[in-house]
Structure 1
Amino acid sequence: MGIIYTFTDESPALATLSFLPIAQAFLSKANIKIDVSDISLAARILAAQNSYLKEEQKVEDALAKLGELVKKDGTNLIKTPNISASIPQLKAAIKELQEKGFNVPNYPDNPSNAEEEQIKENYAKVLGSAVNPVLRQGNSDRRSTNAVKEYAKANPYKVKEFSKDSKTRVSYMNDGDFFDNEKAVLIPNDGTIKLYEVVNQEKNELKSFAVSKDEILDATFMNVEKLDKFYDEQIKICKEEDILFSLHLKATMMKISDPVLFAHALKIFFKELFTEFKDEFEKLQINPNNGLSELLSKIENSNKKDEILKKYNEILEKTPISMVNSDKGITNLHVPSDVIVDASMPAMLKNGAKLWDKEGKEKDTNAVIPDKTYATIYEAVIDDLRQNGTLNPSKIGSVSNVGLMAKKAQEYGSHDKTFIANKDANYVIELDGKEIMRHEVKKGDIYRINLAKMDAIKNWIKLAEQRFEQSKEEVIFWLDEKRPSNKIMIDIIKAELANKFKILKPYDACKESLRIIRSGKNCISATGNVLRDYLTDLFPILELGTSAKMLSIVPMLNGGAMFETGAGGSAPKQVEQVIEENHLRWDSLGEFLALQSSLEYEYIHNKNQKANVLAQAFDEAISNYLEENKAPSRKAKENDNRTSHFYFALYLANALAKQNQDMQLQSFFKEVADKLNKNVDTIFNEFMQEEGKKVDLGGYYVLGQKAQEIMRPSKTLNDIINFIKESK
């Protein structure tokens, strides 16, 4: 079957254009083919709207195809980070595709007929975390390798000191949130769930789906009246204490609920604006779910533009708000995908718990995370910093993660079971006609159902136990018995493991994990799906300065494996630098680590001895890459992503040339190593002479020949790679 390598978006996609030809050439000598699967946002849009395309433009649904492959034993998949698209990103990608001649339809905000309803439904499959739930047919094992961790300790990133006088705080709702309103059951038998909206004894079916015995079902809702009061209180606190208002949500992964949470914050922060210009905003069809950016764009066509902007600027003058880009006036409320909690909160915490105001100055912050379910982990970090001082990355240990995510476990699978109540009602859940749960909701409340299957849960528990046996590092399950679904999981864990590991609520688990790593030791966090997502950014960023250097393995329930290659949180800014300076600072260490693990899997699963030789050479090349500090610099005219690939190829060829397990590989790569070593200066200079210039990638969401040429500017290196590929 070989290895499948995903082509995705932004920085990882540009990096793939440079690295993949090198990887394909080297692995071909071990008789391993790397096939590419395009699951980028643009490709997903085309697949979703195939019926609108000319015959020669139609594409296969690569994501659906991969979704079937990951359920099969032997599948070996390398997954690079992709865009979890918000509606503004979706619209931008649609516009670019249309400009390139693809007749995909516009996204209809307010469908007016059956065709537009269908178009919107098709696009819904592209929005948010459309990729990960399909591919993640196993649980997650994410950690820092010893080589990466030791390098980080010896070469720690520059830490901003945390002041014990800091006014920074994490704020969340005291009541009325998803945590408070949750109910959960362990499904007693296979059957059919029906969700009804009940008003005056009249039942309207909202959803029907099958469930299996021993599946955990939980349901909850967010009271938006209390949410609005909460936002109002937080804005007043920001004014009184002169700290920045900063909203942190997950409007990509939680693609139904969190854009609405975002919109409520926007409408409360700019209450005067939305009140005074209510009729004008309705006329312009402004959807607050999409943020300030769309609002400011749409008022360009309004004859009240000047009045609106005057009021807008007045509000910004009297209420401090954090800025995504102070120079460009881009606030924390401009685009929902700019406030992604798992990337934005750790970045704030390692920056001395400060963000930036409209003048570009660092300032203490009110980090607003409405739902207390997970907000408390960030509160725990702030409390720890206040009690124990700034973390020292040269001394602290590591927190790795074993995450429950198989079969769309928990909130990742909730998109098609999330509803915005359009009237006051009772939401009633029945199993085979018998009521098992009921919530009283008001118009506008956000209601959702989550599921976790028993085989996925037991596999997760087993994986945590296996990681303990391999590492002897303490395992902590992050679960709160006050949350009904967690209480059921706790009972399952105790039945499976007795009291082998600690089970702590997220706040306490975070504090305990910080205590352990401050002592120089390591520990393992065993968490549900959303915490997996948050923690695999939080601790790597605190420890290493980035989450892109982690090894992420997903052993599939059916025997295959997926190797994920790091996070893409800063990818848009990195692409901007490529366009301005032809310098890509994306670090492909995650790709190197993933490919090494993928080769180990190939050796174990298919007994390919050459794959084992390559895997060992990868290990040596990764060590050399770290020791020689060939990671990309932030500055143009210094090492970037492309030169890092060259040096990695050099170290890999040298390792293969001196190994003596496979003489055929040794003989061939001696010649390759010789060519590379002789041309180090020539190749480096070919890269450097292209840096520092503006370039045209030919697109942002659609990368073609122009981007390929920009990402492979060294003729000498290209000739050597072609020599490897073409040699028999």
Structure 2
Amino acid sequence: MATIIYTHTDEAPLLATYSFLPIIQAYAAKAGVEVETRDISLAGRILAQFPERLTEEQRVADHLAELGELATKPEANIIKLPNISASTPQLKAAVKELQEKGYDLPDYPEHPQTEDEKDARAKYDKVKGSAVNPVLREGNSDRRAPAAVKGYAKKYPHRMGEWKSDSKTTVTTMDGGDFFSNEQSVVLDAADTLSIVHVGADGTETVLKDALPVEAGEVVDATFMSVAALRRFLTEQIARAKADDVLFSVHLKATMMKVSDPIVFGHAVQAFFPTLFEQYGAQLAEAGISPNDGLGALMSAVDSLPDGEAIKASVKQGLADGPRMAMVDDRKGITNLHVPSDVIIDASMPAMIRIGGHMWGPDGQEDDCLAVIPDSSYAGVYAAVIEDCKAHGAYDPATMGSVPNVGLMARKAEEYGSHDKTFEIADAGTVVVRNAAGETLMSHEVEPGDIWRACQTKDEPIRDWVKLAVTRARASGSPAIFWLDENRAHDANLIKKIEAYLPEHDTDGLTIEVMTPAEATTYSVERIRKGEDTISVTGNVLRDYNTDLFPILEVGTSAKMLSIVPLMNGGGLFETGAGGSAPKHVQQLIEQNYLRWDSLGEFFALAASFEHLAGYADNRGAKVLADTLDAATATFLEEDKSPTRKIGGIDNRGSHFYLALYWAQELAKQTADTDLAKVFAPLAEKLAAEEETIVSELNAVQGSPADVGGYFRPQDDKADQVMRPSTTLNEALASL
């Protein structure tokens, strides 16, 4: 039987899986397709690290490693739902929940001293941040809005906030001392083994990273952010926001950039509360309270300190003395600096742009803001969009074009592969990158606290990326723009490779150009306003940013995107959109038994997965499932069966019922496989006849609290009961 792997992940996508997966498995089985699950949730990944501490019943296999190996094989067919890229506070919360459930896990050691603590910290660090994506992404990304979604957005445009020409909202970024300005880059002529060494002022050498293998043609970069320059910049921007009377907001990626960005975030916390850390910094550090974990963790932990009340008073005074801060939840007093994973740049900046350049202030009202993006590598993208909106107003989803993306991400490409090569420097000196012969390839003079990092981009993924860009340009007829800046060391090397590899392809009649990210943004948004499409061909971080920025403006969310990753060895990885709004949806389910998560991304990924399987396994039934699911999804959109905005209408569970109904109807009337049609005809009739009853059963549970048995690790029986409350629908599926 042909097999698809459907991933068991986190938060709202996981809860939705309890409702949708039984439908998928029931339908697929009739076409000879088996849909299996693998647990890559944060809780599952944690438990997989500590088998020796768990009972046999508690142990969880390392499914992520298993899928990483599968991704290198031609038979791979993986549907990957959004998962938590854990910040340290999220990791600690997950560990606490699992401990309370009876799992014998060690606490997360902030400052490991013993060998056991160091071992535990190393295992937890494997789980933290973007632990999943680099393992599964053995191919480059092809991400775009499906025609049905784009058509729906044009027919039923989502609301956009008004942009005013005198808006004070702006982006600010460092003009020196950051990762961009300090970057060095080399291309390896031959395979080699590198080392990263810190050379102290007295000549003492400390190996930071040893035995780092590299391939011929590989691009290796090294850079650092000066902590002195960062602190000057942050202090200046806090004063600027106060003087301009705008909301102060910091936008980072403290999840994917799990080593560097939490440190930058911590400096923002310290810069905003200088008096607090001057007076109590040593006491906080001694108690293991890190500003990198955010203001929320600090406030939760200080009650146990002798000066706890004074520290709280100092925080309150700091908020009063500083500029008004952008809020995550003004009703609960959760600020921009409370939790490093609360304000993630690729979700927070598009949302701000979409509502007219505003964020929410402490008074519960929208207002202009100063968007602080310390590293200048990509800040110009958001600055260009904001300046365009000031000049021309908000975009119109009913007429605007699209910006699909071809993203370089295979084999841990670029910054997202830097985690094991990122270091907070302890002592002044020089960090050098050497080859096996002991020759220095790159070097930087550093000071204590500087954030130094190296990253790699292998040649084969770059070749594949160029090929994919040409393929998409040819298929779509749209211009393909490589977003690269020749003034950045890494980009300059990529431009040389592009110039070498483009002639290998037929580019006659195609528009393929290289522009800086800011120039490419301006070019793309000018075309958007004319209703024209432009393919953004980007590196890994901009891939992440652009596939949220433009979809949120175009179709209201990035969760409805079609994301296909053609794996380089022939398999397929199908991703289902973003999960940035997942936490608030879980909260609403717990409080009101209403899940607003929209599974449309899952529908598109599933159809693409069936389509891929049909070709690879020569499975006619899979092809029928793909075609009928596409048709059912079109009906689903036309009938507007996504979850309603307010309690009382259908939620995620109701949307799954309607997808099941329309899919069964399409299967029943198709002629490509009459046996399948006969199987699904009775089901289609039953679901249609019982529509009112099923919707009533699904909606009847709304309004009361729901218990799924855990946030990070729900109990299957409880989650099943909550997410499958219609006996009539359950019995109809069982009849298959």
Superposition map of 1:709-720 within 5 A: 709-720=721-732
Aligned to 1:686: 697
> Is 1:576 matched with 2:581?
no
Aligned to 1:242: 245
Aligned to 2:384: 380
> Is 1:202 matched with 2:214?
no
Aligned to 1:445: 450
Alignment partner of 2:606 out of 572, 595, 618: 595
Aligned to 1:420: 424
Aligned to 2:636: 625
Inter-partner Cα distance in structure 2 for 1:709 and 1:475: 48
Range with bigger deviation, 155-164 or 298-307: 298-307
Structure 1: gaps (5+ residues): none
Aligned to 1:670: 681
Inter-partner Cα distance in structure 1 for 2:575 and 2:391: 35
Range with bigger deviation, 304-313 or 162-171: 304-313
> Is 1:454 matched with 2:485?
no
Aligned to 2:439: 434
Measured after TM superposition, the shift of residue 302 of structure 1 is 2.3
> Is 1:252 matched with 2:264?
no
Considering only aligned residues, what root-mean-square deviation do their CA atoms show, in Å? 1.0
Three-state SS of the structure 2 residue aligned to 1:286 is coil
The one-letter code matched in structure 2 to 1:232 is T
Q: Tell whether the 8 Å contact from 1:52 to 1:105 is kept in structure 2 after alignment.
A: no
Aligned to 1:399: 403
Q: Tell whether the 8 Å contact from 2:47 to 2:60 is kept in structure 1 after alignment.
A: yes
Measured after TM superposition, the shift of residue 698 of structure 1 is 1.1
Aligned to 2:309: 306
The one-letter code matched in structure 1 to 2:729 is L
Inter-partner Cα distance in structure 2 for 1:283 and 1:177: 29
> Is 1:703 matched with 2:714?
yes
Superposition map of 1:2-81 within 5 A: 2-81=3-82
Three-state SS of the structure 2 residue aligned to 1:338 is coil
Aligned to 2:230: 227
Q: Deviations over 1:52-100 (max 9, x none)?
A: 1123222210001111000000110000000000111111111111111
Inter-partner Cα distance in structure 2 for 1:204 and 1:247: 34
Aligned to 2:165: 164
Measured after TM superposition, the shift of residue 221 of structure 1 is 0.2
Q: Deviations over 1:700-723 (max 9, x none)?
A: 001111111100000000001111
> Is 1:512 matched with 2:497?
no
Q: Tell whether the 8 Å contact from 1:141 to 1:402 is kept in structure 2 after alignment.
A: yes
Three-state SS of the structure 2 residue aligned to 1:406 is coil
Superposition map of 1:534-573 within 5 A: 534-573=545-584
Inter-partner Cα distance in structure 1 for 2:689 and 2:673: 24
Alignment partner of 2:415 out of 402, 411, 418: 411
The one-letter code matched in structure 2 to 1:592 is F
Alignment partner of 2:334 out of 323, 330, 342: 330
Measured after TM superposition, the shift of residue 351 of structure 1 is 1.1
Measured after TM superposition, the shift of residue 293 of structure 1 is 1.1
The one-letter code matched in structure 2 to 1:655 is E
The one-letter code matched in structure 2 to 1:711 is M
Q: Tell whether the 8 Å contact from 1:582 to 1:636 is kept in structure 2 after alignment.
A: no
The one-letter code matched in structure 2 to 1:494 is E
Measured after TM superposition, the shift of residue 412 of structure 1 is 1.2
The one-letter code matched in structure 1 to 2:233 is F
The one-letter code matched in structure 1 to 2:471 is Q
Measured after TM superposition, the shift of residue 642 of structure 1 is 0.3
Aligned to 1:366: 370
Measured after TM superposition, the shift of residue 541 of structure 1 is 0.3
Inter-partner Cα distance in structure 1 for 2:159 and 2:607: 29
Q: Deviations over 1:193-234 (max 9, x none)?
A: 011111233322211211111100010000010100000000
Superposition map of 1:66-145 within 5 A: 66-145=67-146
Aligned to 1:479: 484
Inter-partner Cα distance in structure 2 for 1:278 and 1:36: 46
Alignment partner of 1:496 out of 491, 494, 501: 501
Range with bigger deviation, 148-157 or 194-203: 194-203
Aligned to 1:468: 473
Measured after TM superposition, the shift of residue 494 of structure 1 is 1.4
Measured after TM superposition, the shift of residue 271 of structure 1 is 0.7
Measured after TM superposition, the shift of residue 329 of structure 1 is 0.4
Measured after TM superposition, the shift of residue 612 of structure 1 is 1.0
Measured after TM superposition, the shift of residue 345 of structure 1 is 0.6
Aligned to 1:155: 156
Measured after TM superposition, the shift of residue 658 of structure 1 is 0.9
Inter-partner Cα distance in structure 2 for 1:128 and 1:551: 24
Hey, which bits of structure 1, 4+ residues long, moved more than 6 A? none
Q: Tell whether the 8 Å contact from 1:71 to 1:560 is kept in structure 2 after alignment.
A: yes
> Is 1:344 matched with 2:348?
yes
Measured after TM superposition, the shift of residue 501 of structure 1 is 1.0
Q: Tell whether the 8 Å contact from 2:430 to 2:443 is kept in structure 1 after alignment.
A: yes
Inter-partner Cα distance in structure 2 for 1:282 and 1:90: 20
Inter-partner Cα distance in structure 2 for 1:591 and 1:153: 21
Inter-partner Cα distance in structure 1 for 2:188 and 2:376: 26
Q: Deviations over 1:466-499 (max 9, x none)?
A: 0011111110100000001101111111122259
Aligned to 1:531: 542
Aligned to 1:193: 194
Q: Tell whether the 8 Å contact from 2:195 to 2:434 is kept in structure 1 after alignment.
A: yes
> Is 1:655 matched with 2:659?
no
Q: Tell whether the 8 Å contact from 2:183 to 2:223 is kept in structure 1 after alignment.
A: yes
Structure 2: gaps (5+ residues): none
Q: Tell whether the 8 Å contact from 2:560 to 2:601 is kept in structure 1 after alignment.
A: yes
Measured after TM superposition, the shift of residue 284 of structure 1 is 2.2
Q: Deviations over 1:590-628 (max 9, x none)?
A: 000000000100111111111111111011101000000
Q: Tell whether the 8 Å contact from 1:5 to 1:78 is kept in structure 2 after alignment.
A: yes
Q: Tell whether the 8 Å contact from 2:254 to 2:340 is kept in structure 1 after alignment.
A: yes
Three-state SS of the structure 1 residue aligned to 2:397 is coil
Inter-partner Cα distance in structure 2 for 1:484 and 1:231: 25
Range with bigger deviation, 427-436 or 399-408: 427-436
Q: Deviations over 1:391-445 (max 9, x none)?
A: 1111101100000000000011100000111000111111121111111011110
Aligned to 1:292: 295
Measured after TM superposition, the shift of residue 303 of structure 1 is 3.2
Q: Tell whether the 8 Å contact from 2:303 to 2:309 is kept in structure 1 after alignment.
A: no
The one-letter code matched in structure 2 to 1:484 is A
Three-state SS of the structure 1 residue aligned to 2:57 is helix
Q: Tell whether the 8 Å contact from 1:239 to 1:318 is kept in structure 2 after alignment.
A: no
Q: Tell whether the 8 Å contact from 1:548 to 1:565 is kept in structure 2 after alignment.
A: yes
Inter-partner Cα distance in structure 2 for 1:259 and 1:32: 43
The one-letter code matched in structure 2 to 1:602 is L
Q: Deviations over 1:359-390 (max 9, x none)?
A: 11111100000000011100011111112111
* TM-score, normalization by structure 2: 0.97
